[in-house]
Chains A and B, each alone.
Chain A
Amino acid sequence: MRFHFALLVFLFLAVMWNNSYSLTIARASLRELSGESELIVRARVTSSHCDWANEAQKNIYTFADLEVIETLKGEKMDKITVSQLGGQIGDWGMIISGTPYLQKDDEAIFFLVRNGDFFEIHSIALGLFRIFKDDSGNEKAVNDLGNIQLIDHLTGQEISPVEKIQTFEVSSLINLIKTYTSEE
């Protein structure tokens, strides 16, 4: 029953949410992300649901339960929960621009920072590298910031649409992360 409810919630989210894309983020390198994140894991979303953040019903959060496959940095845990501001409950929607909301069975490498009892994705969207298989069956990880205004403050220039989508071989990405974290 709970599973069906969660599934319905996500199906609803998939068709109802409207990101306004007005999220603006400063670019960060993989080395910076690795250094600034408290926890870096490869994990799969086992369930997700939306809830009011308080009794006054003035905030909605989306909570995604993650099953950790591999811990790349930080304390080893089998399960963690990631919270994301915004979500949809019934007719009510709270749309946080540019947020890559998580859905059941999503698999990714997460760069996380702690926020109270939960973890958050670093800079809303910067710290999410979704894993997929390409046409050849190879595992790839992609950080898709195509719907975010991304500023490079070293150059002061907005980053081109093509540059906003970074794709790695999963194994290469993991090796890079381990290299950067070992340098700390």
Chain B
Amino acid sequence: MDKYLMATIFLLLILLLEISSLFSFSIFTNEGGYPRKYFTTNIPFIYRLNNSTPPEYVPSIDAGAQVWEDVISSFWEFTNGGYTAANSVNYDGINLIFFDIEGVNFTPGTNVIAFSSTWTTGSGANYRAVESDLIWNARDFPPSLTGEPGKQDLQSVIAHELGHHLGLGHAGPAGGPPGVGPLITAATMYGYSSDGDTTKRSLHIDDIAGVSTIYPVWVLQGNITDAQSGLPFPEVALSSPVVFAAEIGPPEYGNNVYQRPGYYRDTVTVDTSGFYQVVCLKQNFELTAVYFGYENEQATVAFNNPGGIGQTQILTLNFQMSQSPPATISGSVIDSALGLPVAAQIKVKAVSQKPGVPSGFIVDTTTTHSGDFSFELLSNEDYEITFLPDPPYITRTILIEDLPSSGTNLSVYLHRASVLLVNDDNSTQFESYFTSTLGQTEQTYYLWRIAEKGIPDTSIFSQFPDPCTVIWFTGNANDSVLTYDEQLQLCQLLNRGGRLLLTGQNIVEKSVEDTLLVDYLGVSFQSNIATPLATGVANDPIGNGLLVSTVGGAGNQTSRDVLNVTGNAIPIIMYGTTTPLGVAGVRVEQPAANWKAVFLGFGLEGVNNSLGIRDTLSSRIFQWFSAVTGFNEFTDQNTSPLNTFYLEKNYPNPFNSQTVISYQLPTQAEVRLEVYNILGQKIRTLLHQSQPAGSYHLIWDGKDQNGIEMTSGLYFYRIQTGSFTTVRKMLLVK
């Protein structure tokens, strides 16, 4: 291969951009980026051994050279030229390897173990190496042939040093010498070694890519065009199942050294010209041209056998890219429990691992009121489709892989959330602390940002299964104020039998003391407190045994509130450890109206969760809420002891016309037994009266309070006797 062609190859290689490499060799160059290589007139590189070389060294030296000759994708060759009387780094036409046992090249007392010298000449593209010598201070530092400790392994060092001779720098690390690319410690050309290390005797693929880049046997090139327009097609990825290519970047300068970092590749990307040219490491391989929205174009590459020193086969392989046909995605969004249609916003992102993938959403649309949708996307690509419904449904994302040209039909079932999570902060930074805890406690949630959607009201609360459970957090201290309207809506939540966890610093300090705080929650502001530690109240169902630290969580607790407590509020957490310093949190319930609330004078997001305290506190609050998961079935008992309240499973279940509901009262009690639909709407009161202790049976005939037959579906029946409440589910099948 002539010098001009080699220079052209290196310049064109700059055009290729990195996609997937993690590895890096480097090659020495001059300031113009031309490699410090031996021209073919100096190959094979004939090394000669000084006459004093111990014969037992020769096999290790030759083996260190042989590993480079064995690289099939490089025409570089070493030859042992025998012995010589030369003993210095003089420019004498002899590539010397000298184990200087007499130390003639080393001043007494020197710490130099070995050094190499390379003679260069020429400039620009004519820059080249003409001689390389290696001299080892065998007087003071004899090498090892077996990798014994305390000595440098001869074969590994020779392989490494001859790699330098042929023009390679060190492999990595990034940022400059002793290498300029990413770190690759397994390479022979890695810049560091220790005594006794024999692992560098064999070449790494990174070393192979390096020598192949300087002395290539196979080069692949071609043009990429658009099949329809015939114009150059830029930025196509050429990808193979195997590492097939090597490429190098522009020169980098440091410590008086110019080097170009190199990479080995299974994928290369063509720049804007649509032309590519790449050094190949394999003789035969499959190659695929890939671009978003276009059909993959495949080809088989088959090079000739290596032709010898200086022989580089350049194979031309062109690709024509044809656009993929559009495909239709249609379907409907459905309530997973009721089978009813749900309206939702739809956003689509392309997620194919290909060049040309558009950023952002490529489809932003909505379903019809009946939940139906239909839109077109380019086939053969991967997409992420997100359905964003109104409350109480949970956002759902579906991944479509390799969309067929025939399109696809989707039935998207959406689940109802059990918790309304309200972010009353101006940022989204604290949401993850709550969503993480909700995940740990197996709660599903709908996230409501007041900054985006305004204050949620009864119309929102009513969408959630009764009793509607709301977690409301206020985040940072500077905007932790509950407005009048917000308090009003939370009062409405409690009035309809809801559950509320209200948490945040400065809520009682900065908010107007209105009905919610004073009359419902029974709290007011006493003071701020500096201590981050708080202790759960002994024997309290929520606080018992907890040591709560607000250091190490979100790190935003700068104004914790100490609470004055009035009315029915019961302290659950106190600031301080051994001595209570004030009330940090309370729980309140109103059995008559069937609401429950927990208020924390600090932000739950600020609780250190390294020991799971935030999760435990949340879990206990949910347990105390009892019905926090709406009408998900729950019960405290697995058996039916005679001295407890008990609601048995209905029979039969599923049922067609009627079903029997049985329950047990240990004492006389006011009993309310009601039936609810999946929306949490009460449809029938089966019983509301005082009953003496005993076992009872009721029949539900599948009709509502007005005698109208209900449709098929899931229903819940709830018994309430004073403080005892239990819910079970039943399935009506017509």
Contacts and interface: CB of A to CB of B under 8 A. Distances in A.
Interface of A: 13-28, 36, 57-59, 85-86, 91-98, 101, 113, 115, 120, 122-124, 126, 146-147, 149, 151, 153, 156-158, 160-161
Contacts of A101: 256
B164 A22 contact: yes
Nearest to A99: B115
Given A16-B31, A97-B115, A149-B191, A22 B134 contact: yes
B193 A156 contact: no
Interface string B136-180: 000011000000011010000100110011000110010001100
B258 interface: yes
A156 B119 contact: no
- Most B CB contacts (10 A, CB to CB) among A22, A28, A160 go to A22
A113 B107 CA distance: 8
Nearest to B120: A93
13 contacts: A14-B256, A16-B31, A18-B256, A21-B191, A22-B164, A24-B152, A59-B91, A93-B120, A113-B110, A120-B107, A146-B255, A161-B173, A161-B192
A59 B255 contact: no
Contacts of B661: none
A91 B256 CA distance: 17
Interface string B176-213: 01100000000000011111100000000000000000
Contacts, number: 153
Given A59-B91, A156-B149, A158-B194, A20 B118 contact: yes
- Most B CB contacts (10 A, CB to CB) among A15, A25, A28, A95 go to A95
Given A26-B113, A151-B113, 15 more contacts: A18-B259, A19-B177, A21-B177, A22-B116, A22-B161, A23-B116, A25-B113, A58-B91, A94-B89, A94-B117, A95-B117, A101-B256, A157-B195, A161-B173, A161-B192
A36 B109 CA distance: 7
Contacts of B110: 113, 122-124
Contacts of B89: 59, 85, 94, 96
A16 B255 CA distance: 11
Contact of B256 (A17, A85, A158): A17
Contacts of B177: 19, 21, 146-147
B594 interface: no
A149 B115 contact: no
* Chain B facing A: main interface SS: loop
Given A59-B91, A147-B177, A93 B121 contact: yes
Nearest to A57: B91
Given A19-B255, A21-B178, A123-B112, A95 B191 contact: no
B72 interface: no
B92 interface: yes
Contacts of B165: 20
B178 A18 contact: no
Contacts of B193: 149, 158
Nearest to B117: A96
Interface of B: 28-31, 36, 88-92, 107, 109-123, 134, 140-141, 149-150, 152, 157, 160-161, 164-165, 169-170, 173, 177-178, 191-196, 253, 255-259
A13 B28 CA distance: 15
Nearest to A159: B192
Nearest to B193: A158
B715 to A, nearest CB: 70
A147 B161 contact: no
* Chain A facing B: main interface SS: loop
Contacts of B36: 18
Nearest to B173: A161
Nearest to A96: B117
B31 A19 contact: no
A126 B28 CA distance: 24
A21 B169 contact: yes
Contacts of A25: 111-113
Contact of B109 (A16, A113, A115, A146): A113
Contact of A97 (B30, B116, B122, B173): B116
A183 to B, nearest CB: 18
A83 to B, nearest CB: 12
A27 to B, nearest CB: 7
B327 to A, nearest CB: 53
Contact of B121 (A24, A92, A153, A160): A92
A138 to B, nearest CB: 24
Contacts of B122: 91
B116 A153 contact: no
B129 to A, nearest CB: 9
Contacts of B119: 92-95
Contacts of B173: 161
A146 to B, nearest CB: 6
A13 B149 CA distance: 39
Contact of A91 (B88, B90, B121): B121
A152 B90 CA distance: 30
Contacts of B113: 24-26, 149, 151
B121 A146 contact: no
A61 to B, nearest CB: 11
Contacts of A16: 30-31
A95 B255 CA distance: 13
Nearest to B31: A15
- Most B CB contacts (10 A, CB to CB) among A26, A98, A149, A158 go to A149
